[in-house]
């Protein structure tokens, strides 16, 4: 599961002394801002994530920032839950009643039941209850994004201002 932040900002006109060096400065400043933003979202998401028995889901939340190759795509930030918690999507959005969740040997649900109840043989009963009632979503990523959203544009604008000052010789 990944949450990707996409924002379009109009880059102010910056007189370019050396186009390649200017792009490097612009990419570095925006990349640093995006890294801070995704780290804040990840911190908020971790705080809102249920610990469960093992804490694996909370520990699996990570970030990634990719710097772009042109002015239109300076940086891309992602907040995600890693492969060690394949059930993250169900915790985030919940699960409607219906089909049985995976409950066999080696499944996340069986591991959870063994840790909580101490007896994996009851996994079928838990799976049947989930199939009948569903699970409500916790929306930890959605709420984390909502908490950080007001600070995103000002932080990116500040990064662009810093880049403009650096490109113009610190003026």
pLDDT digits (tens, 9 = 90+) for 60-80: 999 999 888 776 678 889 999
Q: Which residue has the higher pLDDT, 128 or 52?
A: 128
For 47-60, letters b (16+ CB in 10 Å) and e give: ebbeebeeebbbeb
Say whether 69 sits in a helix, a strand or coil: strand
Phi, psi values for residue 105, rounded to 5°: -55, 130
In whole angstroms, what is the distance from residue 141 CA to residue 123 CA? 28
Task: Examine the pLDDT at 53 and tell me if it is beyond 60.
Answer: yes
Task: Examine the pLDDT at 8 and tell me if it is beyond 80.
Answer: no
pLDDT at 148: 96
Dihedral-angle region of residue 65 (phi above 0 means left; psi in -120 to 50 means alpha; beta otherwise): beta
Q: Which residue has the higher pLDDT, 88 or 16?
A: 88
Per cent of the chain over pLDDT 90 is 55
Question: What integer is the mean pLDDT of 41-52?
Answer: 94
pLDDT at 13: 57
How far is CA 10 from each of CA 50, 104, 130, 153, rounded to the nearest angstrom?
Answer: 38, 52, 47, 11
Say whether 8 sits in a helix, a strand or coil: coil
pLDDT tens for residues 32-46? 999 999 999 999 999
Question: What integer is the mean pLDDT of 134-160?
Answer: 95
Average pLDDT along the chain: 86
Task: Examine the pLDDT at 171 and tell me if it is beyond 60.
Answer: no
């Amino acid at each position: 599961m990944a949450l990707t932040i996409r924002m379009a900002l109009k880059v102010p006109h910056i007189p370019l002394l050396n186009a390649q060096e200017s792009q490097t400065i612009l990419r570095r400043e925006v990349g640093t801002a995006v890294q801070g933003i995704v780290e804040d979202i990840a911190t908020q998401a971790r705080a809102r994530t249920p610990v469960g028995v093992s804490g694996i889901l909370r520990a699996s939340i990570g970030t990634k920032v990719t710097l772009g190759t042109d002015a239109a795509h300076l940086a891309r930030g992602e907040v995600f839950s890693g492969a060690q918690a394949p059930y993250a999507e169900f915790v985030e959005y919940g699960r409607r009643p219906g089909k049985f969740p995976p409950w066999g040997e080696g499944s996340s649900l069986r591991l959870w039941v063994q840790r909580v109840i101490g007896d994996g043989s009851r996994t079928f009963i838990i799976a049947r209850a989930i199939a009948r009632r569903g699970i409500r979503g916790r929306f930890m990523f959605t709420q984390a994004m909502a908490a950080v959203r007001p600070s995103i544009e000002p932080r990116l604008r500040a990064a662009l201002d810093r880049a403009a000052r650096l490109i113009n010789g610190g003026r």
